[in-house]
DNA sequence: ACAAAAGTGTTCGATATACACCCATGT
DNA sequence: ACATGGGTGTATATCGAACACTTTTGT
């Protein structure tokens, strides 16, 4: 950093920068958040969302991706930057700014590996334990964003397996919004968007076999759903 | 930072953290962005959006507010965090992560002080000069957010004087969306939201004097406009 | 009187909501 | 045959879009 690139920056105090991730999934008809129990002070034995320091040569997204892989073993997920929290007192160890992300993992992926192997456990969003730092605030922010994204985009599909039934999709929306919808109107609405492709019909179920659908491949993200 | 607060953090490399602001206003029926010309390398003589390093004891929002006051002398503005840009190569001087903000300044405020006193000038959004770093990307991101906020919230009013006419409001929406609206439908829509209060009628104009309106005081931000 | 911008209503199509019964399968 | 969840249509209300003329003031 010599004269040729201009004034150097060495006299500015630097904060630490972390990424922290709110990872959602759906299991047992509930919205779940992945949490890790802290083993060290400060906030020993409290729960936190997964995260860690950003390597000096890593982009923020790469940092988030690597924390995610570390805790879940999963790579194919929806990942979006949320908000950056930078209150000078948010971490008692010093100035730590955290860039938060939110991630959605499909229920078909979480079954693949026990999340306990990764020292992380799923908690029902409605019954969260006490959280360290400002992580409750981060999760609340993430949930607002999740709801919003459900209304206006196709992110919902990243919480479902590749092939899913209309009822699964509807149940997902009902869990996230905490309300119930009329089956006929819901189906009508979704089909009118023309974002689904019919797949085969489900087999070996002891009731009328449901149609399976998949999301069309070539869609951009924002589609103005519901 | 002793044992009592746990493992200290001193062996993690720290990036620099800055805030950068996209400041919008409306003047001469155009959307304007405030830019500063760089006087030092790198990118000497290129334009940048206002910003600077975050003090170690300042919250991110405080840092943004103080940069804003520095460049515009204005305090009563809409200010919102946008996105955090952290590509390791975005600044040739080293690892610099920037938390971007966007701000809306009412046209009544920008007339108060010449922005040139503050070493910053307004540029038409449609004719931006070449920008340093990734600042073009930041501005584009801010503009997307601006449009979105115009659709779903009452932020538009922070670009107008306290009292304004329906035509001023409509013109503002037309500038931001780059389209024109039907006067009757626009008025109907806005009035149906019941977010305005009638003020006095404008005086001394050589045409039918328009009704002045103001935004009701007690509104939360999101109102689902248009 | 005229120039300039403000203000005003109705029709039509599209979209959203409310609502209840039959269907296909496995056991 | 029955239990289970899947699938379907119609009527009504609401909202958004299109569209052109009259009003009020200052000069």
> CA-CA distance, B159 to A154, in Å (whole number)?
32
Domains of chain A (ranges plus CATH)? Answer: 13-134 (3.90.79.10), 155-215 (1.10.10.10)
Q: Which of these ranges, A36-45, A90-99, A108-117, B144-153, has the smallest mean pLDDT?
A: A108-117
Structure tokens at B146: 């601006």
Give the pLDDT mean for B59-87: 93
The structure's pTM equals: 0.92
State the Cα angle at B154 between B149 and B160, rounded to 5°: 105
**B149 CA to chain A: closest CA distance, Å?**
13
Q: What is the pLDDT of residues B95-137, one digit of tens each?
A: 999 999 999 999 788 754 555 566 789 999 999 999 999 999 9
What is residue A147's predicted lDDT score, i.e. its pLDDT? 96
What is the dihedral angle through the alpha carbons of B40, B44, B47, B50, rounded to the nearest 10 degrees?
-20
Q: Is the CB of B182 under 7 A from strand D?
A: yes
Q: What is the pLDDT of residues A169-219, one digit of tens each?
A: 999 999 999 999 999 999 999 999 999 999 999 999 999 999 999 999 988
Is the peptide bond prior to A8 cis by the omega test (within 30 degrees of 0)?
no
Q: What are phi and psi of B99, to 5 degrees?
A: -95, 115
Q: Is the CB of B45 inside 8 Å of chain A's CB atoms?
A: no
Mean pLDDT across chain A: 90
What is residue B116's predicted lDDT score, i.e. its pLDDT? 58
Q: What is the pLDDT of residues B39-70, one digit of tens each?
A: 898 999 999 999 999 999 999 999 999 999 98
Q: Which of these ranges, A25-29, A78-82, A109-113, A119-123, has the smallest mean pLDDT?
A: A109-113
Structure tokens at B86: 């952290």
Beta bridge partners of B31: B26
Q: Is the CB of B208 under 7 A from strand C?
A: yes
Q: What is the pLDDT of residues A41-59, one digit of tens each?
A: 899 999 999 999 999 999 9
> CA-CA distance, A64 to A21, in Å (whole number)?
7
Q: Which of B128, B112, B107 is nearest to B22 (CA)?
A: B128
Of A13, A53, A99, the CB nearest to B12: A53
Q: What is the pLDDT of residues B182-194, one digit of tens each?
A: 999 999 999 999 9
* Cβ pair B6:A44 closer than 8 A: yes
Question: pLDDT: is B143 or A224 the higher one?
Answer: B143
Q: Is the CB of A207 inside 8 Å of chain B's CB atoms?
A: no
Q: Is the CB of A48 inside 8 Å of chain B's CB atoms?
A: no
Q: What is the pLDDT of residues A56-89, one digit of tens each?
A: 999 999 999 999 988 888 878 999 999 999 999 9
- Tell me: pLDDT of A4 over 50: no
What is residue A5's predicted lDDT score, i.e. its pLDDT? 45
What is residue B117's predicted lDDT score, i.e. its pLDDT? 64
Mutation for testing the B interface, residue in A95, A138, A145 having most B CBs under 10 Å: A95
> CA-CA distance, A75 to A82, in Å (whole number)?
19
Give the pLDDT mean for A28-38: 94
Closest residue in chain A to residue B85, using alpha carbons only? A60
- Judging contacts by C-beta atoms under 8 Å, the chain B residues touching residue A14 are 14-17
């Amino acid at each position: 950093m010599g004269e040729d690139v201009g004034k150097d920056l060495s006299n500015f105090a630097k904060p630490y920068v972390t990424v922290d991730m709110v990872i959602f999934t759906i299991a047992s008809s509930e919205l779940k958040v992945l949490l890790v129990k802290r083993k060290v002070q400060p906030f020993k034995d409290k729960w936190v969302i997964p995260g860690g320091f950003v390597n000096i040569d890593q982009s923020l997204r790469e940092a988030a991706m690597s924390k995610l892989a570390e805790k879940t073993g999963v790579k194919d997920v929806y990942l979006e930057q949320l908000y950056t929290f930078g209150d000078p007192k948010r971490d008692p160890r010093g100035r730590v700014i955290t860039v938060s992300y939110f991630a959605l993992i499909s229920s078909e992926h979480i079954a693949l590996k026990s999340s306990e192997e990764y020292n992380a456990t799923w908690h029902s969003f409605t019954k969260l334990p006490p959280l360290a730092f400002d992580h409750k605030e981060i999760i609340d922010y993430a949930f607002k964003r999740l709801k919003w994204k459900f209304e206006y985009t196709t992110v919902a599909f990243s919480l479902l397996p590749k092939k899913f039934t209309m009822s699964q999709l509807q149940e997902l929306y009902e869990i996230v919004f905490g309300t119930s919808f009329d089956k006929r109107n819901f189906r009508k609405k979704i089909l009118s968007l023309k974002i689904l492709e019919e797949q085969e019909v489900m087999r070996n179920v002891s009731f009328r076999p449901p149609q399976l659908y998949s999301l069309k491949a070539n869609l951009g993200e924002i589609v103005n759903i519901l």
